[in-house]
Amino acid sequence: MTTDGRVLPGLLDTEAIRKDFPALDRLVHDGRKLVYLDNAATSQKPRQVLDTLNSYYERSNANVHRGVHVLAEEATALYEGARDKVAAFINAPSRDEVIFTKNASESLNLVANMLGWADEPYRVDRETEIVITEMEHHSNIVPWQLLSQRTGATLKWFGLTDDGRLDLSDIEQVITEKTKIVSFVLVSNILGTVNPVEAIVRRAQDVGALVLIDASQAAPHMALDVQALGADFVAFTGHKMLGPTGIGVLWGRQELLEDLPPFLGGGEMIETVSMHSSTYAPAPHKFEAGTPPIAQAIGLGAAVDYLTAIGMDKIAAHEHALTEYALERLHEVPDLRIIGPTTAQDRAAAISFVLGDIHPHDVGQVLDEQGIAVRVGHHCARPVCLRYGIPATTRASFYLYSTPAEVDALAEGLEQVRNFFG
Amino acid sequence: MYQDVILDHYKHPHGRGLRDGQAEVHHVNPTCGDEITLRVRLDGSVIGDVSYESQGCSISQASASVLNDLLVGKDVAEAQKIQETFLELMQSRGRIEPDEAMEEVLEDAVAFAGVSKYPARVKCALLSWMAWKDATAKALSGTTPEETA
């Protein structure tokens, strides 16, 4: 219920859900209730994921894809079972298109490196162009800067409008016949913007460019259908979607994964090895050199089960209602300026703002003293801060267990910040 | 953490603005984007002036103001001793309770003792002090080719 007695539409039963998350019960700073609004950085983990991790280590711990003993077979079945779960979660046509990495950054770097070493028609070189956007996380900027520096390819990007959206007005000049790859974020981690995938994918396909979508802030919060997106690669990470750290995903279309060269070499990714040369295992193993993050993949599988049981559409509806309410409450705070879309339309539940000339570090610190956890800084998206002429922002981000009462706590906390520094 | 002394210096900073000096440095804190441009003017062996332009949080701004109060007019050797004492306090992770001797040396700067318990904020408090140390070393060695006047 909101402060004025309304019941928001589409909210989940957070009372029941919160019982699954031990960390949400924590008290901080002399007995204050934790208000965890840093979900875009990482989510808390439900008991079901923690129990799965424990059970794996206590009962089935072994290396995968080798060994013929009971534990090795159990570990392999659990690890590959997690791949099946992730494939179903993103509606992948084939389980073999799901590559486990250590995080989204590794997934993005993997694609950049595949293309750097690829033969025609995928090869990125001095005659070609790479396209990204100004609202990317550093992990979807730096790998392309590195690739551009190494190959001589030209790096181009879409700018941003004043209201925090991609400026696609010059799409035909940005994505051209020379473009080999277009890599962009589905949901911005700093602005909360949900980007128009279809328009970008259509233009990229028209010129024969590959498309990579960074879905790190989308996969935890909305139904993700890689076939409907129409991209060639989709990257995301496990720890923002109730899973453990150390596990990420790269989905790629099968024929591309067959054609493109491996990046990391090692055990697990080979077919035969002699001292002169090697042949490679088929995807996904071709891209999973060495012992993979086994427990973490299995934990991600448990997280996917948890999210699926609740329903991604219901989670999206819950967050949409909370976002609308949070924007409404934040608009009431004097001197507060939202950085990003100011309505909940095509917008996710990560809300950045600046509060007068009070530095975000001070905002975050005074909120923390009240038990409210937010993120402050440039959110690994410094070009966005430069674009809007601010050194940093404060960001509150919500998830399936967040409540209207927590939105109220934030709004009241910000009043305290204003009183303190006013 | 936010002692009244700190808030006072934040709201009414002392010695702000860039003035003449023999050395200028620019330091940033990449984790939060705090920045300072700082100049040191030496009058013989005395710190004649420490002038600065900066942007950042209350802790970094107040710390630069306190630095100006404390170090201007001091002999370089004494100023360096104050800087070392402040560094020791800030790196104490809250374990040092300033005693009278330390208060004698650090004056208002003892108010930052509480900040040392917050690892994420220690760099904010130290930004101007590290810039001052750097600029003073430059001024002493005369490596800056021309005066910034």
Q: What is the DSSP letter of A169?
A: T
Strand, coil or helix: A63: coil
Which residues of chain B lie closer than 8 angstroms to A362, CB-CB? 57-59
Mean pLDDT of chain A: 96
Of A366, A392, A421, nearest to B33 by CB-CB distance is A392
Q: Do A385 and B33 touch (CB under 8 A)?
A: yes
Residue A8 domain-assigned (yes or no)? no
Tell me how far the alpha carbon of residue B81 is from its chain's centroid.
13
- Comparing alpha-carbon positions, the chain B residue that sits nearest to A362 is B57
Residues A266 and A119 in one domain: yes
Domain that holds residue A26: 14-33+311-421
Strands A350-355 and A393-397: antiparallel
Which residues of chain B lie closer than 8 angstroms to A376, CB-CB? 32
Task: Calculate how close chain A gets to B21, using CA atoms only, in Å.
Answer: 27
Region B144-148: what's the mean pLDDT?
46
Q: What is the pTM of this model?
A: 0.92
Residues A81 and A228 in one domain: yes
Residues A18 and A102 in one domain: no
Residues A294 and A385 in one domain: no
Strand, coil or helix: A206: helix
Which residues of chain B lie closer than 8 angstroms to A392, CB-CB? 32-33
Residues A328 and A378 in one domain: yes
- Residue A316, number of CB atoms within 10 A of its CB: 18
Q: What is the pLDDT of residue B147?
A: 45
Q: Residues of A near B (CB-CB distance < 8 A)? A: 359-362, 365-366, 376-378, 382, 385, 391-392, 420-421
Which residues of chain B lie closer than 8 angstroms to A361, CB-CB? 32, 34, 56-59, 121, 124
Predicted confidence (pLDDT) per residue in A121-148, tens digit: 999 999 999 999 999 999 999 999 999 9
Q: Do B58 and A391 touch (CB under 8 A)?
A: no
Residues A215 and A336 in one domain: no
Which of these three, A309, A329, A355, is where a domain ends? Answer: A309
Q: Return the CATH number at A248.
A: 3.40.640.10
Region A27-33: what's the mean pLDDT?
94
Of B55, B59, B121, nearest to A391 by CB-CB distance is B55
Residues A265 and A364 in one domain: no
Q: How many CA atoms lie within 13 A of A128 on its CB side?
A: 23
Residues A27 and A78 in one domain: no
Strand, coil or helix: A250: strand
Predicted confidence (pLDDT) per residue in A250-276, tens digit: 999 999 999 999 999 998 898 899 999
Task: Calculate how close chain B gets to A112, using CA atoms only, in Å.
Answer: 26
Which residues of chain A lie closer than 8 angstroms to B33, CB-CB? 377-378, 382, 385, 391-392
- Best B6, B8, B29, B58 member to test A by mutation, with max A CBs in 10 Å, is B58
Residue A262 domain-assigned (yes or no)? yes
Of A361, A385, A420, nearest to B57 by CB-CB distance is A361
Sorted by sequence, the CB contacts under 8 Å of residue A300 that are 6+ apart come out as A82, A85, A86, A238, A241, A243, A244, A247, A249
Residue A130 domain-assigned (yes or no)? yes
Using CA atoms, how far residue A175 sits from A3, A84, A127, A205, B68, in Å, is 48, 35, 14, 10, 53
Predicted confidence (pLDDT) per residue in A365-377, tens digit: 999 999 999 999 8
Confidence band (pLDDT; 50, 70, 90) for B94? Answer: confident
Strand runs labelled E in A202-344: 210-214, 233-237, 248-252, 270-273, 278-280, 336-339
Is the model's pLDDT at A286 over the cut of 70? yes
Using an 8 Å Cβ cutoff, are A373 and A35 in contact?
yes
Residue A200 domain-assigned (yes or no)? yes
- Give the Cα separation of A137 and A189 in Å (integer): 7
Q: Do A361 and B124 touch (CB under 8 A)?
A: yes
Q: Return the CATH number at A345.
A: 3.90.1150.10
List phi, psi (to 5°) of A184.
-145, 160
CATH of domain B4-140: 3.90.1010.10
- Residue located via tokens 């949070």: A326
- Comparing alpha-carbon positions, the chain B residue that sits nearest to A390 is B33
Domains held by chain A: number: 2
Which of these three, A245, A278, A309, is where a domain ends? Answer: A309
Residues A54 and A64 in one domain: yes
Residues A284 and A337 in one domain: no
Residues A319 and A274 in one domain: no
Using an 8 Å Cβ cutoff, are B32 and B15 in contact?
no
Residues A184 and A296 in one domain: yes
Q: Label residue A259 exposed, middle or buried (CB < 10 Å: 0-12, 13-18, 19+).
A: middle
Percentage with pLDDT > 70 across chain B: 95
Residue A258 domain-assigned (yes or no)? yes
* Beta bridge partner(s), residue A166: A160
Q: Do A376 and B32 touch (CB under 8 A)?
A: yes
Percentage with pLDDT > 90 across chain B: 73
Residue A38 domain-assigned (yes or no)? no
Residue A137 domain-assigned (yes or no)? yes
Full DSSP string of A88-157? HHTT-S-GGGEEEESSHHHHHHHHHHHHHH--TTT---TT-EEEEETT--GGGTHHHHHHHHHH-PEEEE
Strand runs labelled E in A187-297: 210-214, 233-237, 248-252, 270-273, 278-280
Which residues of A are part of the catalytic machinery?
Answer: 380
Which of these three, A286, A309, A332, is where a domain ends? Answer: A309
